[in-house]
Amino acid sequence: MMGETIFATMSRLATEHNAINLGQGFPDTPGPALAIEAGVRSLRAGHNQYAPAGGVPELRTRVASIWSQRLGRPIDPLRDVTITVGATEAIAAACLAWLEPGDEAIVLEPAYDAYLWAVRMAGATPVGVDLGSTMRLDAERLEQAITPRTRMLIVNSPHNPSGMVVSDEELAAISAVATRHDLRVLSDEVYEFLVYEGSHRSIATFDAMADRTVVVSSAAKTFGLTGWKVGWAIGPADLVSEVRSQAQYLTYAGATPLQHAVADALGNLDLIVPLVRDPLARQRDVLVDGLAKLGFTPLATQAGYFVLTDLGPVEAETATEAALILAERAGIVTIPIEPFYVEPERAPLVLRWSFARQATTLRDALAQLRRAADRGLLAPKTR
Ligand code: PMP
Ligand code: GLN
């Protein structure tokens, strides 16, 4: 059953319980002024009719020029780039284009839930390769998951939900498997500019990967403007044209004024990235330190919006139960890990917390958690 996404469910619970929402990943700041001003200008300039399917040339050109450098090869703005309604549409379009009913797609678990459902919408089956408690890839496990029906592999670095940057060794191992079994790779890199430790490398830069990889990224995380829903897919012309063909019939094209605004903002990428990234690094420290003091065990997080912990002082049988206890008794909304697994019942006892919130909000949340713990509200006897 498809049902409601966990992000919608938990955001609704936050409203119902008047809780502090550390669940869904979105910043609670107005966004970089350079990008917002570009948006206002763009609306006034009259960019208000349909964009061409594939996106406005100004944005495709900007994306091509930045990613030519990032990927170390020439990217053609019209053939190798397509603009989508957020990274989400690019993910769905790639799965719909590349998978037939009966096919299998590999995801590394925990996996962002949109991959599982995009694969299923294509009539195919997601196959999870468990990253285990360290959130690191076991290359043998990946090899064993491949069957004659495997068509594609979905990679996500920096990783949601763990905040890990996939290492060069892991990317090399994935590349070797993809090449050996002639698989297509969808590489979701939406958090690529929000790296606090280590550095991001795209799997598309590995030998033999350029021809088989489509890289997906978006303005949502880069500019902290998740409501803009402007994303892009970059890769070899044949693969990208298949993504574009599907996207034409999903949405035809995304919001024209915002595409122009993102093109403008990308022109100031080097100025904007530190403004978005550096406060997040500080917020990460506030949340991680605070949770550790409360008895949770945070997993190291290098990038993105999230930190994973165990259930700490919350006494519960499942992560979902723990998340409900936290929402109802402590007024704190988190995301339980189950929906990130093909078989949710096999998920570990882990919660995801977002630090994409201002430090004052995080400190309020930590104080509220402390009060609930001190009053014994997180233990079962009070249930
Ligand atoms: N991929 C990952 C890993 C995400 O966390 C998200 C959530 N922003 C998306 C894709 C979706 O991005 P967009 O809002 O651009 O559709
Ligand atoms: N990517 C966001 C997250 O992981 C959620 C986006 C959504 O609600 N679909 O929290």
Contacts of 203 (CB under 8 A, 6+ apart): 155, 157, 166, 171, 174, 175, 185, 187, 209, 213
Structure-token pair, residue 176: 């070797």
Question: What CA–CA distances, in Å, run from 80 to 56, 175, 300, 337?
Answer: 14, 21, 35, 35
* Cis peptide preceding 57, ω within 30 of 0: no
Per-residue pLDDT of the chain (383 residues; tens, 9 = 90+): 688 898 998 999 999 999 999 999 999 999 999 999 999 999 999 999 999 999 999 999 999 999 999 999 999 999 999 999 999 999 999 999 999 999 999 999 999 999 999 999 999 999 999 999 999 999 999 999 999 999 999 999 999 999 999 999 999 999 999 999 999 999 999 999 999 999 999 999 998 999 999 999 999 999 999 999 999 999 999 999 999 999 999 999 999 999 999 999 999 999 999 999 999 999 999 999 999 999 999 999 999 999 999 999 999 999 999 999 999 999 999 999 999 999 999 999 999 999 999 999 999 999 999 999 999 988 865 44
> What SS3 state is found at 340?
helix
How many Cα atoms sit within 13 Å of 275 on the Cβ side? 16
Indicate if 96 and 220 belong to the same structural domain.
Answer: yes
Residue 176 sits in the same domain as residue 80: yes
- DSSP E strands in the chain: the ranges are 20-21, 81-84, 104-109, 125-130, 150-156, 184-188, 213-218, 231-234, 306-309, 332-333, 335-336, 351-354
* Ligand 1, CB within 6 Å, residue ranges: 25, 86-88, 112, 156, 160, 188, 190, 218, 220-221, 226, 229, 231
Query: Are 122 and 207 found together in one domain?
Result: yes
Is residue 89 included in any domain, yes or no?
yes
Q: Which parts of 32-101 are beta strand (E)? A: 81-84
Is residue 310 located within the same domain as residue 263? no
Whether 382 is in a domain gets the answer: no
CATH of the domain at 98: 3.40.640.10
Domain end among 236, 267, 298: 267
Decide if 380 is inside a domain: no
Residues 18 and 97 in one domain: no
Name the domain boundary from 267, 298, 324.
Answer: 267
**Closest by Cα among 374, 358, 356 to 7:** 356
My answer on whether 197 and 244 are in the same domain is yes
Judgement on whether residues 21 and 106 belong to the same structural domain of the protein:
no
Considering the domain architecture, whether residues 156 and 88 belong to the same structural domain is answered as yes
**Does 237 share its domain with 356?**
no
Which of 214, 221, 301 maximizes ligand 1 atoms within 8 Å of its Cβ, making it the mutation to test the pocket?
A: 221
Is residue 303 domain-resident? yes
Statement to judge: residues 282 and 259 lie in one domain? no
ipTM: 0.98
Per the domain annotation, does 1 fall within a domain?
Answer: no
Q: In whole angstroms, what is the distance from residue 244 CA to residue 75 CA?
A: 16
CA of 236 to the centre of ligand 2 (A): 28
Q: What is the extent of the structural domain holding 15?
A: 6-25+274-374
Judge if 203 and 278 occupy the same domain: no
The CATH number of whichever domain residue 293 belongs to comes to: 3.90.1150.10
CA of 7 to the centre of ligand 2 (A): 6
Clarify whether residues 249 and 279 are in a common domain: no
120 exposure class (CB count in 10 Å sphere: 0-12, 13-18, 19+): middle
